[in-house]
Structure 1
Amino acid sequence: MEAGASEGTRMDTGGRRHQPSRGMYVLPSLFTAGNIAAGYYAITQSVQGSVGDSIHFDHAALAIGFAILFDGLDGRIARMTNTTSDFGKELDSLADVITFGVAPSLLAYIWGFRMLPLMGYPGLRDQILHLGVFVCFVFLICGACRLARFNISINPQPRNPGRPGHKYFVGMPIPAGAGVICAVIHCFNGSPINRPWIAVVWMCLIGFTGFLMVSSWRFWSGKEISLGNRHPFQMVALVGVLIALLWLYSEYMLIILALGYLVSGVVARLAYSWSRERRHHSTEAR
């Protein structure tokens, strides 16, 4: 692209500008539409789920998992085809609120709290249900705030900067937050929580995930990964092995990836705080 050419516009040898055809602009939006469709499907499956028919919860979790794939593809395709647009960006944000905010928060509530059996202390169950509604709403509003901050930020920097030249997300991305919820549910094959103490642990995980989304901690973006690097064969082989493991052992692989990504942000923050405190003490000792 020559200097002065706008984004999404190419110049031919005669100096004339060529824009991609209108059909090319539809392509990334189709993946965004698939994102919304997966979120809507997850909502309908969550509502249909029950203790005796828990497969619906697993279907909802998997649908959101596929939506994460669609969400990663639409932006990449738009950049590859030079068809980025303000409409596409706004549509993508709205899709993320539905699929990675509303759908997982509803799924987390019904699966983790609404399906709790009647216990000897019905008052305890009611308290867990009320707190569960609140925590799931907090997750939703944190995800929406994370998207709003991402849309208005220009080159944001995390509070605990990493290696120079590497790009990081500031706060956990909302697809990753939704992935944590869905990976846990899929690991249990959709079987809902039936013990109050497990529901409390589930509540803490949802609330902590919401906090990570609005935090200013750094999370790995993965933008430096490219199939066009110096070793494309190794990268393709690694991706192939990962896909095979996900296909064969999805229950374990997804929860390892989701919780591992969550823990990576926490470890990065703790490591930075420890190193800063260590530098501070060494400075005072001089």
Structure 2
Amino acid sequence: MSDLFPPFAPDAQEARRRRFKPVPLRMLVPNLITLVALCLGLTAVRLAFEGRLEPAVIAIVVAAALDGIDGRVARLLKGTSRFGAELDSLADFVNFGVTPALVLHWFVLQNLKSIGWIVALLFAISAALRLARFNVMIDDPNRPEWTKNFFVGMAAPAGAITSLLPIYLHFLGVPTSEPALAPLSLIYVFGIGFLMVSTVPTFSGKNLGRRIPRQWVLPIFVATVAFFGLLVSFPFEILTLGTVLFLGSIPFSIARHRRFERADEERAAESQPREPATVPEPGEAP
């Protein structure tokens, strides 16, 4: 038996097994935030199917807040990566496409049977198409700098938050879940899905907060605390008001976007060389 496993000395010339480089912690933190948001989105589906609609809505809202944080944290820590960008897109599709569609179908769209399910499918697919278009456009090097202030179509988190307006109104006493009002909710959800895949410009707010005038620091602190207190005390009133204000801001974003486009067209026209005026030959009519 001793001859079956004879001792041997390792070969010093044998190539060592390649080891992966350790990943810095700053690369993991943004992805962990994204995963927490994804867990909240999936949990919202379970809570809704259990009839716990209020915590389901809160889970979606918190997931949207985390979605706005993870990118900023990644840029702050210099932890952006292609893996994180892909993970964020997949999480956004689940949190702001699939989850709102299922919650709204359970809440009101199921009253319209197959038509309600089709609208839920259209909403989820609209979120997927909107995210795919965003990933393609973000790599375009020819985009003007001012376009960073706008989204092309409604962003997926904003679409999810605004699509839940029938649920907000339900908690405020409006019977939006009744079969008689179900068609109105269906039209509204379909409209939000259309805005996500449309080319209607909406304010992005990405450049907000980079440079704050010193005199605005304390008022911003006070306003933030007041907003948080109101949101905790009157969540559905604040969400309803925020949804209405956001939808009301779309015409202003369209007008501002058109002003930037006209300015670019005027600069392009001025930069084009003018053709020299032709001088008529002697004897020719001017």
TM-score tier (shorter): 0.7 to 0.9
In the alignment, structure 1 residue 263 sits paired with structure 2 residue 248: yes
Q: CA deviation at 1:130?
A: 1.1
Match of 2:54 in 1: 58
For the pair shown, which has the larger CA radius of gyration, 1 or 2? 2
In 2: Cα distance, 1:80 partner to 1:170 partner: 25
Amino acid at match of 1:35: A
Once the two structures are superposed, what CA deviation does each residue of 1:52-103 show, in whole Å capped at 9, x if it has no partner? Answer: xxxx112211110000011011001000000000000000000011111111
| 1:126-179 deviation per Cα after TM superposition (whole angstroms, max 9, x unaligned) | xx21111011111111110000000010477xxxx9x96871111100101110
Instruction: Flag the 1:224–1:112 CA change in 2: closer, same or farther, 3 A.
Output: same
Secondary structure at 2:151's aligned position in 1? strand
Contact 1:64 1:182 in 2 (8 A): no
Q: What's 2:87 paired with?
A: 91
Q: Does 1:48 align with 2:50?
A: yes
2:227 aligned residue: 242
Does residue 209 (structure 1) correspond to residue 192 (structure 2)? The answer is: yes
- Paired residue for 2:70, among 66, 74, 84? 74
Aligned to 2:126: 142
The alpha-carbon deviation at position 36 of structure 1 amounts to 0.6
Tell me whether 136-145 or 186-195 shows the greater mean CA deviation.
186-195
Pair 21,177 (structure 1): closer, same or farther in 2 beyond 3 Å: same
* Aligned residues: CA RMSD: 2.9
Q: Structure 2: how far apart are the matches of 1:136 and 1:220?
A: 25
Between 1 and 2, higher relative CO (CA 8 Å, sep ≥ 6) is seen in 1
Mapped to 2, the partners of 1:61 and 1:269 lie a distance apart of 29
- Note closer, same or farther for the CA distance 1:198–1:85 as it changes in structure 2 (3 Å cut): same
Q: Percent identity?
A: 31
Partner of 1:14: none
Code of the aligned partner of 1:36: L
Aligned residues between the structures:
235
Instruction: Check 1:165–1:210 CA distance in 2 against 1; reply closer, same or farther (3 A cut).
Output: closer
Secondary structure, aligned partner of 2:202: strand
Q: Is this contact kept in 1: 2:169–2:176, CA < 8 A?
A: no
Conserved 8 A contact 1:29-1:88? yes
| Residue of structure 2 equivalent to 1:153 | 137
Residue segments in structure 2 that go unaligned for 5+ positions in a row: 1-21, 262-286
* Residue 103 of structure 2 corresponds to residue 107 of structure 1: yes
Deviation at 1:194, TM superposition (A): 4.3
TM-score (structure 1 length as normaliser): 0.74
Kept in 1, the 8 Å contact 2:130–2:156? The answer is yes
What stretches of structure 1 of length at least 5 have no aligned partner? 1-19, 50-55, 117-127, 277-286
Tell me the amino acid that sits aligned with residue 203 of structure 1: L
Q: What TM-score do you get using the length of structure 2 for normalisation?
A: 0.74
User: How much does 1:217 deviate?
Assistant: 1.1
SS at match of 1:219: strand
